[in-house]
Amino acid sequence: MSAVMITRKVRKWEKLPGKNTFCCDGRVMMARQKGVFYLTLFLIIGTCSLFFAFECPYLAVHLSPAIPVFAALLFLFVMAMLLRTSFSDPGVLPRALPEEATFIEMEIEAANGNVPAGQRPPPRIRNVQINNQIVKLKYCYTCKIFRPPRASHCSICDNCVDRFDHHCPWVGNCVGKRNYRYFYLFTLSLSLLTIYIFTFDIVHVVMRSVDNGFLNTLKETPGTVLEVLVCFFTLWSVVGLTGFHTYLISLNQTTNEDIKGSWSGKNRVQNPYSHKNIIKNCCEVLCGPTYPSVLDRRGLMQDDSLVSATGAAQSSSSSNSTLQSTHAVLCLQKTTAPLIPNEHTPDDAKPSIAASAEKSPSPKEELPPASKLPPLASPETDAETSIAKDKTH
């Protein structure tokens, strides 16, 4: 039984490990569970449609035509920020290639020295001094790297994310260095939009009731009742969340650090990243440089796979990758890539025979994601600190 090795070009996103979904040939990157994100879309678009259908005609005539215009602009801004947050790379750190992983292991072994048999080796921690504070860098067993400061491993997306804030099911993505400002602007503009719609709903009902009576008004515009309900419940959560993130930004902290209490408490280290100036902190987080993605999702790479003579393709890439490498198809893709990306290195071009591509669970990092109703923020569950809190904001 002979086997033929075929080499073809695939986009790098098809080979990325981690539990992300990619769309539009790698241009869009999201988490796997998108149900709550669709709910968010439905609520925003639905409520705004009702507003434009029921309230705006009346208010444009009786008050001012600027009202629907401003609402439309605000709605477009909210959608732009939501889509930007959901579809962009949050700041995922690529996993270490085999040589780098080996190099780090050798360094760790050299640092640990001889461990007597039967004893557990010391935890893999590197101490660095940042602005005269000692910060511990933890080793990620899944990604085989020492996590940069402020980075954290998201167990839902199975990636290390730089400046990890939290995994937000409402936007269907992690919130990290690259998309935090879009997330903040989304919550801020959504708060404004909710307050705006709520206020003008009340104004509209009052104005109409003066002419027609309260019950008749409700009969004429049933959409108003629905809008008021949605806005009322949304207001509390979204405005609260915006306030919380404004507080975090002024202190240059992440939700993850806040939940873990990294910088609070007497004996703890003070936040070394804060400029100790609210304006400077806000400027850095909101108006800082726009960091590029280091993932290069749309780059091309060689994919070597073994195809047996019987015809069953034993390729490690996902089944539709041949299509994907030639067209940009608008469909959702699940990557079933192996743990370490199969990059073509100059010295060895070994074929990737891992057909099932089942990830061997690393001893410390496998924890199931939260199974209850999605809270507004799911902190990453880091096995080494054994914290499994869920905080609903």
Q: Residue 80 interacts with other proteins (CB under 8 A)?
A: yes
Which of residues 84, 124, 260, 364 is near other proteins by CB under 8 A?
Answer: 84
Q: Where does the chain have alpha helices with state H?
A: 35-50, 56-62, 66-87, 98-112, 180-212, 214-220, 222-251, 255-260, 278-287, 321-324
What is the spatial distance between Cα 35 and Cα 286, in angstroms, rounded to a whole number? 29
Q: Choose the binding region for other proteins from 131-139, 310-318, 354-362, 370-378 (rule: CB under 8 A).
A: 131-139
Separation of alpha carbons 156 and 164, rounded Å: 13
Instruction: Say which of 56, 154, 157, 168 is annotated catalytic.
Output: 168
Cβ closest to other proteins, residue 226 vs residue 340: 340
Stretch touching other proteins by CB under 8 A, among 122-130, 313-321, 329-337, 360-368: 122-130
Closest CA to 247 of 78, 91, 393: 393
Q: Are 81 and 191 in contact (CB under 8 A)?
A: no
C-alpha span between 11 and 347 (Å, rounded): 22
Nearer to other proteins, 249 or 295 (CB): 295
Strands (E) in the chain, as ranges, are 3-11, 20-23, 28-31, 92-93, 125-130, 133-140, 145-146, 152-154, 159-161, 166-168, 173-175, 300-308, 313-314, 333-334
The first and second tokens of residue 4, run together, are 């033929």
Contact between 163 and other proteins by CB under 8 A: the answer reads yes
Give residues with Cβ within 8 angstroms of 129, minimum separation 6: 135
Among 140, 145, 376, 377, binds other proteins (CB under 8 A): 145
Instruction: Tell me which stretch binds other proteins (CB under 8 A): 218-226, 255-263, 293-301, 307-315.
Output: 293-301
Q: Give the ranges where 213-277 is alpha helix by DSSP (H).
A: 214-220, 222-251, 255-260
- The neighbour count for residue 60, using CB atoms within 10 Å, is 14
Nearer to other proteins, 150 or 208 (CB): 150
Q: Which is nearer to other proteins, 144 or 167 (CB)?
A: 144
Residue 130 sits in the site that holds other proteins (CB under 8 A): yes
Taking the least distance from each CB to other proteins, the nearer of 147 and 166 is 147
Task: Pick the stretch among 76-84, 220-228, 233-241, 367-375 that binds other proteins (CB under 8 A).
Answer: 76-84
Q: Is residue 71 close enough to count as binding other proteins by CB under 8 A?
A: no
In the structure, how many helices (H) and strands (E) does the chain have?
Answer: 10, 14
Q: Which is nearer to other proteins, 34 or 144 (CB)?
A: 144
**Annotation marks residue 168 as catalytic:** yes
Instruction: Return the DSSP state at 28.
Output: E
Question: Should residue 328 be labelled a site residue for other proteins when binding is judged by CB under 8 A?
Answer: no
| Residue 346 interacts with other proteins (CB under 8 A): yes or no | yes
Residues at the contact surface with other proteins, assessed by CB under 8 A: 76-77, 80-81, 84, 93-94, 96-97, 99-100, 103-104, 128-131, 135, 137, 145, 148-150, 162-163, 182, 185, 272-273, 283-284, 286-292, 294-296, 299, 346-347
Q: Please list the active-site residues.
A: 168
